[in-house]
């Protein structure tokens, strides 16, 4: 478990984030290591999963059932994870670390194994809620000068049209979007309709985190496309959302949907529907950021994502490579796997808890009065 202070206070409709508690998983096999990080929060604010719950599931169930076994492909590993419902962020950690390990075994960068088509990723920036409209404009100005391809503003009821108007007037030609993080209801339709006047590329997740039906209703009342984020956890969710007309854009976060396999299925479905994708971020370290970059090389990621420069968030990242944007484009790491290596000195400084699970460990099912056999799947 890593304790990563953020360089600035990042305010959204959830609250203010000043640090990230990051579960980092290392899988080892045949002298190689595969890395992935968890994107769940310490509290269930974004989705239901939490860091403590994910660690308990990983240490007590998922890893003991998988370690010591041989899996020829990520698809084979996915079959072993399939009996466990939900908990997609925890399962994604195992699946994504295996993808990194597998690609390193093949001697290929992950983007080639995934089927990517580009070596540079157009990038946007996400701006937290600022004290006032002028502060929002001033912050946006710095990123416009740096060449970021899209500016996204966090909004909430009572703080929406004012910052949007100010930024649009200051930068009439930029691609501008907003993200509500589920802060509105259908009762706020008029406030959301007011944003139609500002030429937004999309309004991200205005309504409840688990809703599709109300988003479809709202989309019929808006000219601006709705982009779904929290509501999309699987290819099944995506199909339902697109069939209902609940979204015209999808924010695909690989950790939220359970890993790269499900992310590719969602990619292929949206491509068939003609609905564009972009890759969102969860304030990841360089490990999660590298996974996001490789995923974003797939064909239908046609809108700028949230993989901005790592130095924006961290004084020192936990990887040795600098993942930095130049001219609004993030280059794709070209080494085997995710193409980054851990900075052990930094990692030692930010590690607050470390657990080793070895092959042969037995799954734990705690606090059950009649404990079943340890190899029984629940």
Rounded to whole angstroms, how far apart are CA atoms 202 and 179? 9
DSSP for 101-132?
HHHHHHT-BHHHHHT---SEEEB-EEE---SS
Rounded to whole angstroms, how far apart are CA atoms 88 and 181? 19
Rounded to whole angstroms, how far apart are CA atoms 277 and 88? 20
Rounded to whole angstroms, how far apart are CA atoms 254 and 93? 10
- Write out the H or E segment, with its range, that includes residue 36: strand 32-37
Rounded to whole angstroms, how far apart are CA atoms 197 and 224? 9
Rounded to whole angstroms, how far apart are CA atoms 33 and 28? 5
For CA atoms 313, 316, 318, 322, give the dihedral sign: positive
Three-class SS state of 2: strand
H helical segments located in the chain: 51-57, 63-66, 74-81, 88-106, 110-114, 133-145, 161-170, 189-193, 213-221, 235-244, 260-273, 286-295, 344-350
With contact defined as beta carbons under 8 Å apart, do 40 and 47 qualify?
Answer: yes
Known catalytic residues? 154, 253
Q: Which residues contact 127 (CB under 8 A, 6 or more apart)?
A: 136, 139, 140, 143, 151, 152, 153, 154
With contact defined as beta carbons under 8 Å apart, do 286 and 346 qualify?
Answer: no
DSSP one-letter code for 334: -
**β-sheet bridge partners, residue 331:** 120
Rounded to whole angstroms, how far apart are CA atoms 347 and 193? 46
With contact defined as beta carbons under 8 Å apart, do 50 and 236 qualify?
Answer: no
């Amino acid at each position: 478990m890593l304790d990563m202070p953020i360089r600035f206070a990042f305010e959204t409709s959830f609250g203010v984030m000043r640090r990230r508690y990051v579960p980092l998983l290392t899988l080892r096999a045949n002298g190689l290591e595969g890395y992935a990080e968890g994107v769940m929060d310490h509290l269930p604010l974004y989705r239901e999963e939490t860091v403590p719950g994910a660690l308990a599931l990983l240490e007590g169930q998922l890893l003991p059932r998988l370690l010591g076994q041989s899996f020829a492909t990520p698809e084979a590993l996915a079959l072993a994870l399939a009996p466990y419902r939900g908990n997609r962020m925890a399962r994604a950690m195992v699946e994504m670390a295996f993808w990194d390990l597998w690609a390193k075994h093949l001697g290929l960068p992950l983007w080639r194994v995934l089927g990517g088509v580009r070596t540079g990723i157009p990038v946007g920036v996400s701006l937290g809620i600022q004290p006032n409209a002028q502060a929002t404009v001033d912050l946006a100005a710095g990123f416009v000068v740096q060449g970021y391809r899209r500016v996204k503003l966090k909004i909430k009821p009572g703080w929406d049209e004012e910052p949007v108007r100010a930024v649009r007037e200051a930068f009439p030609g930029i691609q501008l979007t907003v993200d509500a993080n589920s802060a509105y209801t259908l009762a706020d339709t008029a406030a959301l309709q007011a944003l139609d006047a500002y030429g937004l590329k999309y309004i991200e997740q205005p309504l409840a985190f688990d809703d599709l039906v109300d988003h479809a209703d709202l989309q019929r009342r808006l000219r601006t496309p709705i982009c779904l984020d929290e509501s999309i956890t699987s290819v099944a969710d995506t199909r339902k959302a697109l069939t209902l007309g609940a979204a015209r854009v999808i924010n695909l976060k690989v950790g939220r949907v359970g890993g790269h396999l499900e992310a590719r299925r969602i990619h292929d479905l949206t491509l068939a529907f003609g609905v564009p994708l972009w890759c969102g971020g969860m304030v990841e370290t360089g490990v999660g950021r590298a996974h996001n970059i490789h995923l974003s090389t797939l064909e239908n990621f046609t809108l700028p994502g949230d993989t901005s420069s790592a130095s924006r968030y961290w004084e020192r990242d936990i990887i040795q490579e600098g993942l930095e944007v130049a001219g609004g484009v993030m280059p794709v790491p070209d080494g085997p796997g995710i193409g980054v290596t851990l900075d052990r000195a930094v990692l030692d400084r930010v590690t607050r808890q470390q657990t080793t699970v070895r092959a042969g460990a037995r799954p734990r099912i705690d606090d059950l009065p009649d404990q079943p056999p340890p190899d029984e799947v629940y």
